[in-house]
Amino acid sequence: MGTCIVSIGVHDNGMVLLSDTMLGLAVVCYAVLVIVTLWRAAAFPAALRSDFTDPRRGFGFFTFVAGTDVLGTRIAGTGQHGIALGLLVVGGLSWLVLGYVVPWTAVLGREDRPVVAGANGTWFIWVVASQSVAVLAAVLEPAASARRELALLAVCSWSIGVILYAAAGVFVAARLLLYPLRPVDLTPPYWVAMGATAITVVAGARIVEMADAPMVTATRGLIAGTAVVFWAFGSWLILPLVAAGWWRHVKHRVPLRYEATLWSIVFPLGMYGVAGQFLGVADHLPIVEAIGKTEIWLAFTVWAATFIGMLVHLARTLVWPRESAQA
Using an 8 Å Cβ cutoff, are 120 and 187 in contact?
yes
Q: Please answer whether residues 26 and 92 qualify as being in contact, where contact means their C-beta atoms are separated by less than 8 angstroms.
A: no
Mean pLDDT for 14-40 is 94
- Pinpoint the alpha helices (H) of the chain: 2-12, 16-43, 45-52, 62-76, 81-103, 125-140, 147-178, 192-208, 214-246, 263-282, 286-314, 320-326
Q: How far apart are CA 200 and CA 171, in angstroms?
A: 19
Q: What percent of the chain has pLDDT over 90?
A: 72
| pLDDT(294) > 70 | yes
pLDDT, residue 321, reads 67
Q: What is the pTM of this model?
A: 0.92
pLDDT at 120: 92
Say if residue 63's pLDDT is above 50.
yes
**pLDDT at residue 327, as a whole number:** 46
- pLDDT tens figures, 152-163: 999 999 999 999
In the prediction, which pLDDT does 322 show? 57
Q: Pick the closest to residue 35 from 59, 6, 64, 60 (CA basis).
A: 64
User: pLDDT, tens digit, for every residue of 230-276?
Assistant: 999 999 999 999 999 999 999 999 988 899 999 999 999 999 999 99
Is the pLDDT at 311 greater than 70, yes or no?
A: yes
Domains of the chain: 2-316 (1.50.10.150)
Of the candidates 76, 75, 233, which has an alpha carbon nearest to the alpha carbon of residue 166?
Answer: 233
Predicted confidence band of residue 184 (pLDDT cuts 50, 70, 90): confident
**pLDDT at position 211:** 74
What are the tens digits of pLDDT across the range 109-150? 777 778 888 899 999 999 999 999 999 999 998 887 788 899
| Surface-to-core class of residue 108, CB atoms within 10 Å of its CB (0-12 exposed, 13-18 middle, 19+ buried) | exposed
pLDDT given for residue 325 in this prediction = 46
Whole-number pLDDT of residue 324? 45
Q: How high is the pLDDT of residue 143? A: 80
pLDDT bracket for residue 319 (50, 70, 90): confident
